[in-house]
Amino acid sequence: MMAQPAPAARTGWSRKHLLGLEELSADEITTILDQAAEFNRLASKGEKKLGLMSGSVVANLFFEPSTRTRTSFSLAAKRLSADTIDFTAAGSSVSKGESFIDTARNIEAMGVSHVVVRHSSAGAPHLLSRHLKAGVLNAGDGTHEHPTQGLLDIFTIREHRGTLSGLTVALVGDILHSRVARSNIWGLKKLGARVIVCGPSTLIPPDITKLGVEVSYDFDEILGQVDIVNLLRIQFERQRSAFFPSIREYAHFYGMNGERLKLAKKDVLILAPGPINRGVELTPDVADGNNSVILDQVTNGLVIRMACLYLLEQHRRTGG
Ligand code: CP
């Protein structure tokens, strides 16, 4: 049976778009996390299918590959009873020269209320938000932000630890090219966590400390201090030159493996946004081991995306 609309866990959501965590306050981030927790609670009572977006249409516009984000946004919209359009640039009229804006406006013309967009250019969702009437959700823009990934990472940490405040989180790897790193930094800092970024100097932007993070080039040295390690993928597709001598050397200094895990706190949580390069950012025994919450992250992505869609829908339905 379809459950009745659930009230937002907190009031005060007033945004039409979700473009990044940089512009959200701690209260707004907490509103999303609490709403996601409410959807988890309803699901645990068997209320998985909700009528909250009945009559609305969510279009997923993916101009870059995706497994987790695209499928979980699609399932999230379906769980809220929205109709969905799943568009990927490959095989579309983009190959005939149709522009990004024209593509989005033509799909919007089918009665779309919310557009989820992933694009290789930083700022692409912001551009759409100025050209469309629909609400826009950023599903990853270049090296800029991936807000729902940041939110699901933070939700997963909160689920296991109860709070973010006072925790030390290490973001390890390709900080330079990682939109996940930026969204994590904005969200984690706003909720009171200490953040250390760690990796080879070539993969850490020199001005990253302006975001309030600490920098380390020595993974072994920080391991004993951290509560959470988030292992960021080496973004080979965004690297135009070699940033380290070899993959083997990268894995030797910055890969998480069984030996390195012994240097960490016993209850350290291992996160990775996926996809993972097994044997590079982390070894299979760690990825599939007791400290890993990697699949919890994927599970939580569903309720986080439901929460984001629902809050934007509420804003639309109340005439915002
Ligand atoms: N973490 C993440 O964004 O995965 P996908 O690229 O598969 O969506």
Give Cβ neighbours of residue 137 (< 8 Å, ≥ 6 apart): 17, 18, 73, 114, 115, 116, 117, 125, 148, 308, 309, 312
Q: Are residues 103 and 69 in the same domain?
A: yes
Residue 20 lies in a domain: yes
Read off the tokens for 25: 């306050």
The CATH number of whichever domain residue 37 belongs to comes to: 3.40.50.1370
Residue 227 lies in a domain: yes
Q: Are residues 162 and 46 in the same domain?
A: no
Residue 120 alpha carbon to ligand 1 centre in Å: 13
Confidence of residue 319 (pLDDT cuts 50, 70, 90): confident
In tens, the pLDDT along 246-284 reads: 888 999 999 999 999 999 999 999 999 999 999 999 999
Q: Which residues line ligand 1 (CB under 6 A)?
A: 66-69, 140, 149, 273-275
Q: Which domain, by its residues, includes 105?
A: 7-146+299-318
pLDDT averaged over every residue in the chain: 94
For ligand 1, mutation pick of 67, 118, 143, 302 (most atoms within 8 Å of CB): 67
Q: Whole-prediction pTM value?
A: 0.94
Of the CA atoms within 13 Å of residue 279, those in its CB half-sphere come to 3
Q: Are 192 and 29 in contact (CB under 8 A)?
A: no
In tens, the pLDDT along 282-304 reads: 999 999 999 999 999 999 999 99
Q: Are 208 and 175 in contact (CB under 8 A)?
A: yes
Residue 70 alpha carbon to ligand 1 centre in Å: 8
Does residue 7 have a pLDDT over 80?
no
Read off the tokens for 314: 């509420």
Q: Are residues 137 and 30 in the same domain?
A: yes
Q: Are residues 32 and 108 in the same domain?
A: yes
Protein residue closest via CA to atom 3 of ligand 1: 69
Protein residue closest via CA to atom 5 of ligand 1: 66
Residue 195 alpha carbon to ligand 1 centre in Å: 22
Q: Are residues 98 and 163 in the same domain?
A: no
In tens, the pLDDT along 185-207 reads: 999 999 999 999 999 999 999 99
Q: Are residues 168 and 100 in the same domain?
A: no
Number of domains in the chain: 2
